[in-house]
Structure 1
């Protein structure tokens, strides 16, 4: 039995996850700062602040920004998918109602109920509460019910074609989400970004700076920016990571949840007569 829609609304990413994320970054920065202070006090900071090291720092920042721009483009595409799924569900709901409007003696209640279950299944799947196989079973059941309801229309029927077309678009959006969930940005670029960041932080620890306060300050600021960018890149690369406790920047499901609410309202009202 599907859980109420209010549960899904309450499951949206709270601000505490962002605070926890900043806390983890701060802890990492504190460890690096303490290591820098220790190395400075021991006199082991033997590297000079050479132009080559500055070039390494700038190239690392450029690489991180390059990767960030790539994952941002995919993230912006992902932001549109819940709204497109909601549009398909709403169009199916309205056009099923048209069947009853054209033929008042025909009932589409079963199709409306199947559509409501499918909408809830999509949401549960995005929240990682059901498997992809369970979602596809709900899709197949809904497709059969919608097709059965459309058979009462006189042939040829544009309405029947639109119903099946909306279902096809919905399936393509589900497949697109599945691809996004199972695909990461170019792995070798990730490795290069992590390696460059590690080398920069290691270099900063052993770089000689006259004042201990200055050395710790610059170590903290630069490492914070680099670690923040690394986490943000990984987070944006999984825009549907609702079940991941470390995920802070997932796409909004508001449009989809409102569409499911409308579906339930239609089903409760007995829209098919």
Structure 2
């Protein structure tokens, strides 16, 4: 209930709400409220609500697509790890540690890239380290060709999903849509400042609540637009718990995170 991460967006909005309330009180004191609420201003607020809802819907769709990416990588790493142990059981001369260490390095590099602001190149390098290990496994016994093919497919899945995460992290989903959003939002805030009413307390309360709603949704859209931020400021980053659990299983030390 009182998790600061959950309330992070509201805490960022509150200073702006305070400034708006002061500006609204100043406009009233200076008698700079020439407008009255009408169907025309109502249509403006309806348009703002529609634009925000449309952009928020698209952003939520992209966010949900990103939400399962850490689990996909975790499942691939765990599948390779399980098969590595099965091979070690079947072939007593096989050493499973090199492949396990390579998987641990992939998990470590992903966590370092996401949470420690490292370059993505460390992820590609870690994934490429699987190649000589798979080649050695294929040479050991030609009957393992199907196993190596499966492991290579899981490697390709890890590479594809991690690069999708990079693209989602480096690219805004919305881009030019923010221009339209800011235009309508600015217009609605100006209208809220200029609209007067017989009872100032009622006018101030409703205007402040509408301002809070609009600005909160704007911050939420911007937060959802980068689901892999992990800078301590975001409230809706994609959870890394599945990836962290697999990394712990592979022996990734906590300090590397």
Match of 2:70 in 1: 82
Match of 1:163 in 2: 151
Contact residue 99 and residue 153 of structure 1 kept, 8 A? no
CA deviation digits over 1:149-194, x for unaligned, max 9?
3431324621111111100111000111011112212322111111
Q: How far did residue 108 of structure 1 move?
A: 2.4
Match of 1:115 in 2: 103
Instruction: Between 98-107 and 36-45, report the one with greater CA deviation.
Output: 98-107
Match for residue 213 of structure 1 among 187, 201, 206? 201
Q: Does 1:133 align with 2:121?
A: yes
Match of 1:186 in 2: 174
Q: TM-score, normalised by structure 2?
A: 0.92
Match of 2:183 in 1: 195
Q: TM-score, normalised by structure 1?
A: 0.87
Q: Does 1:58 align with 2:46?
A: yes
Unaligned runs of 5+ in 2: 253-257
Contact residue 147 and residue 164 of structure 1 kept, 8 A? no
1:203 & 1:129 partners in 2: Cα distance?
42
Contact residue 99 and residue 150 of structure 1 kept, 8 A? no
Q: Does 1:261 align with 2:248?
A: yes
2:103 & 2:73 partners in 1: Cα distance?
12
Contact residue 25 and residue 228 of structure 1 kept, 8 A? yes
Contact residue 115 and residue 230 of structure 2 kept, 8 A? yes
Pair 255,127 (structure 1): closer, same or farther in 2 beyond 3 Å:
same
Instruction: Between 59-68 and 177-186, report the one with greater CA deviation.
Output: 177-186
Q: How many residues align?
A: 251
CA deviation digits over 1:5-31, x for unaligned, max 9?
xxxxxxxxx933444432221111111
Pair 118,130 (structure 1): closer, same or farther in 2 beyond 3 Å:
same
Match of 2:163 in 1: 175
Unaligned runs of 5+ in 1: 1-13, 266-273
TM alignment of 1:35-74, pairs within 5 A: 35-74=23-62
The alignment's C-alpha RMSD in Å is: 1.7
